[in-house]
Structure 1
Amino acid sequence: MCTHKPLVFFVIAFVTMPVLLAQNVSSRLIDAKTKKGIPYATVQYGENQGVITNEEGRFSFILEKDSLTIDSVYISSLGYEKIGFTLEQLEDSVVVVKPKNIELSGVYLFDKELEVDDIMRKVKERLPQNTNDQPVKQRYFLRQSIFGNIHKVDLGFEKSSIEELDKELIDSIAGVIPRNSYHYTEALGDFYKNKGEYKAEVLRAAELYDKKDIGSFEDLGKRMEAMFKQNVKKDSYLKIKSGLFSQKVQVDSILSDIEAEEAKELERELGKDTVSGLVDGQKRIFKELLSEVYYAEDSKLNVIDKSRKYKFTLDGYADIDENGVYVIGFEPKGSADFRGKLYVNIEDFAIMQIDFENLKNLRNFRLLGIYYRETVYRGTMRFAKLPNNKYELKFVDFSFGRWFRFDRPLDVIEKNKNVKGRRKQNELRLNIDFRMANTNKWELVVYNNTLIDNSQFESLKEDKSVKATYMPAYNPEFWEGYTIMEPNQAIREFTVEEE
């Protein structure tokens, strides 16, 4: 019997090895009074190591072997007590945190107490010194959620001399268009920034969506084009006159010699590099987010640039990342667009966090039957101090909502090169009324901000062969072994319904 003990010991050691090498910690933060989840709280489990809770208060992280000896995990969020927990305490499915009121006075030391107007003046004066302009590498996790809701689809059949495209078919097309769409993209990677130039390395990415959904005018156009193509002569092509959709659609193979130029144009369109789209898409999202930071030149969030349009109030004091901050409320004096709060570092007058929401539509556009409104613009942005004493983005929760309407005629002309004389054969006339609301929500967590030099940035070669993994249903195993922001309930329950 004794001769088997080493073997038994080896098997036990082998089986338990993954536990010793790494530990997954997951839990949910809730408010002690309301019992609701605490969104976007900071969970720090080591020096320069931490995660952000999701909008439901859920979080998880991986402790590697060299981190298993940590004593405590610290949890902090504005409006709550900072508190430490042992790993054993975090094994519970729920962690309760007590609210803490914003201090109104008395706990911070000042060389001289300032009025709110003086604070805001110093914020503007110190802005160039507090804004990082050196090259930086950011390890990030980015989740983009796109929600579409079609309010109305009226294709407005008027007349048709294309036998196959009759009123019954047009009405059926309108009837099968999905009214709601959801598209989620998650990516983990490194983002590099150097004076307006951007590069990205995507380590892993996933996309969840239903390929049948309609998320834009373009999607509606593609759906209609596909259905039209199925119902006309094979040697015909369609010319759509509206400006809503592409101008020409080849019905037969793009390899045919019928209207070769149009076929080549369509081939180029269909052959757009979807493989490299992920890396370029991540850079485009970063560019969009950076353009909306309060100090960006063309940002809609003009609370600092147009400070004269806002009324500021000193609401109290709080702590962010061990720094005392002024809590400053702002609202429009007259025609300004936003209200919210600024959290200003008491020592260097840097804005460490800004909460904002629009009070009215930011844009109303109407021209020739096309309507466009920017209806939602709200979120939170946090900033971290770098070793050079300047600040970079640390966290973003940003929602941007728009409303569209397209109300104008659309002509579909069937042409056939094989017929003598004028090639116009038949025509379908519609009067489309299409209305849709669309909201983009971005959640960005920057785990590390690392200063780099110009040569590191210039020498980086992007790998554009990386692409996202498509998922018709959420798969929790996809991110196993990676530290990310936990998905919310809608993502966890997402699944494409079978036809």
Structure 2
Amino acid sequence: MTTLIKYILMLLSGLLVSGMTAQTVSARLIDDKTQEPIPFATIELSENQGVISNEDGVFTINPDQLKKIQDSVYISSMGYERKGVWIASFTDSIVRLSPKSFELKGVFLSSNPLSAKEVIEKVKENMDKNYNVQELSRKKIFFRQSDFNAMKKVDFAFKKSTIEELDKELIDSIATLVPRESSYYREAVGDFYGNYNTHKLYVDKAAELYDKSKDVSVDGLSERLETIFKENVKPNSYLKIKSGLFGTKVQLDSITAANEDANKVKVEVENASDKNYFQEQIKNRISELYTQLFFNEDSKIDILTKSNRYEFDIRDYTFIDEEPVYIIDFSPKGKKDFKGTAYVNIEDFAIVRLEFDNVRPLFTFGLLGIKYGENVYRGKMLFTKNASGSYSPRYLELENGNYFGVDRPLKVIEKNKFVKGRRKQNELSLNIDMQGTSLSKYEMVIFNSEDISSDAYEVAPENENVKATYLSKYDPTFWKGYTIMEPNAAIQAFEVVE
């Protein structure tokens, strides 16, 4: 009888799981006590494969992944009890994790009494072992780029124009066409080959979300200005563009020559556009994420290379992936740039998670009415242990923001040495006062990874001319069948307003 009952339960379980394989499963992780979302948790689907929850605690398992799951998935997150969830029970879209109850501080203070500074020295000593920079792999990745631009001030103060068409009304219209706020999103799924120093990328599918009309308006205005100049500039004239004490001369020997040059440029641009740079741009941004890994000598995150200029403090202990870790806060001494928290494995001294934020601008410039500053530089790095014992990224996030301002006079003067009398023929005089900010966020999730040989890397394919699908609003069905990190609320709400 007992055997029969077990058989019936197994049969029912199989029917429930198979019934779910035709659909996508989504759920949200929350803290059982506080009801707060749990971001960046690991949902293990099988060995070396899984998904990660987004900043809102949401994750998705697609139909192909569901087919490969035996019966349960296992969810783990820093400071929470690891939880096995029967796949058939995902009818409830909320999964609650219980905070882990432990008292490690006294234990580790007595059995392994290292200071924060000593732990960091151990991290540096074990760097080569924990992060194999030469190890080649093939990773299935999801990449997301989010760009936000805001113009705080746009003022083209009209002073003078001797060209009738270039009047104050037109100049004011230019200012109104500059978008005060804009956002751009780029997403891609693909295979990422290589190691920390050399990369290849094959994009399976990609999307871009942005408002095309803003670009078209500016392009149309540019063509209009070009036409006005061509119709009003005399043969053998040249334009002198002057801002304050500085000026540059644009030679236009004749309208015919100018048109011929323009045609040459047009042909060159058309030929250049035959190659699509979308794949290359994504690869460059992923390369930047890798460059900024804390153990890379070119990284701006210098908490290890300049550790003597940072303060470190062991705040507490916790578990990540069932292994105990130190929680070490760091802050700058003097004029260093970053504060944050490093989570260091107690056994092998690997940094398995890093959160950092700049405390001062990384770069500033100001001269003659032009100012620029890089005032935001923050991110997260999460690592997982490979079968070989070394660590590789599981989730990388980097935010980079800057501000800029231009407050300068601008003159466009037409001169002609073949016209009798004064060489100056026409003049447009403005004062440009613009201030704005921009913020870019790059995220990469690694869903599964496998080691490959150097020969396999050499023959790994790339598709340099792949094109992204343009979306004017978020489409939840676009990524059906693909493994991605769920979009945040801003992406889901994005829609071009006609």
TM-score by length of 1: 0.85
2:88 is the counterpart of 1:91: no
Query: How many residues are aligned here?
Result: 475
Q: Is the CA contact 2:177–2:218 (under 8 Å) kept in the aligned structure 1? A: no
- Classify 1:404/1:102 alpha carbon distance in 2 versus 1 (closer, same or farther; 3 Å): farther
Partner amino acid, structure 2, of 1:173: I
Q: Is the CA contact 2:17–2:87 (under 8 Å) kept in the aligned structure 1? A: no
**Aligned counterparts of 2:250 and 2:142: Cα–Cα separation in 1:** 40
Partner amino acid, structure 2, of 1:310: Y
CA shift for structure 1 position 257 = 5.6
Residues 76-475 of structure 1 mapped to structure 2, 5 A cutoff: 76-100=76-100, 103-106=103-106, 112-132=112-132, 133-194=134-195, 196-213=197-214, 225-229=222-226, 231-234=228-231, 241=241, 258-269=258-269, 271-273=271-273, 275-413=275-413, 425-475=425-475
CA shift for structure 1 position 102 = 7.6
Aligned to 2:497: 497
Gaps of 5+ in 1: 1-15
Q: Is the CA contact 1:108–1:324 (under 8 Å) kept in the aligned structure 2? A: no
Aligned to 2:13: none
Q: Which deviates more, 291-300 or 410-419?
A: 410-419
SS in 1 for 2:187: strand
Aligned to 1:476: 476
Q: Is the CA contact 1:102–1:317 (under 8 Å) kept in the aligned structure 2? A: no
CA shift for structure 1 position 373 = 0.8
Residue-by-residue CA offset, 1:91-144 (whole Å, 9 max, x unaligned): 212222233478542566996432222111111111122222222222100110
Aligned to 1:9: none
SS in 1 for 2:427: strand
SS in 2 for 1:295: coil
CA shift for structure 1 position 390 = 2.1
SS in 2 for 1:460: coil
**Aligned counterparts of 2:249 and 2:99: Cα–Cα separation in 1:** 59
Q: Is the CA contact 2:20–2:66 (under 8 Å) kept in the aligned structure 1? A: no
CA shift for structure 1 position 87 = 2.0
CA shift for structure 1 position 416 = 10
Residue-by-residue CA offset, 1:278-335 (whole Å, 9 max, x unaligned): 1101111012111211122222211111111111111222222232211111112222
**Aligned counterparts of 2:17 and 2:320: Cα–Cα separation in 1:** 38
CA shift for structure 1 position 350 = 1.2
Partner amino acid, structure 2, of 1:155: F
Residue-by-residue CA offset, 1:155-214 (whole Å, 9 max, x unaligned): 122211121111111112212322100100000011122463221100000000012347
SS in 2 for 1:479: coil
Gaps of 5+ in 2: 1-15
Aligned to 1:11: none
TM-score by length of 2: 0.85
Partner amino acid, structure 1, of 2:225: F
SS in 2 for 1:431: strand
Q: Is the CA contact 2:20–2:88 (under 8 Å) kept in the aligned structure 1? A: no
SS in 1 for 2:264: helix
**Aligned counterparts of 1:460 and 1:279: Cα–Cα separation in 2:** 15
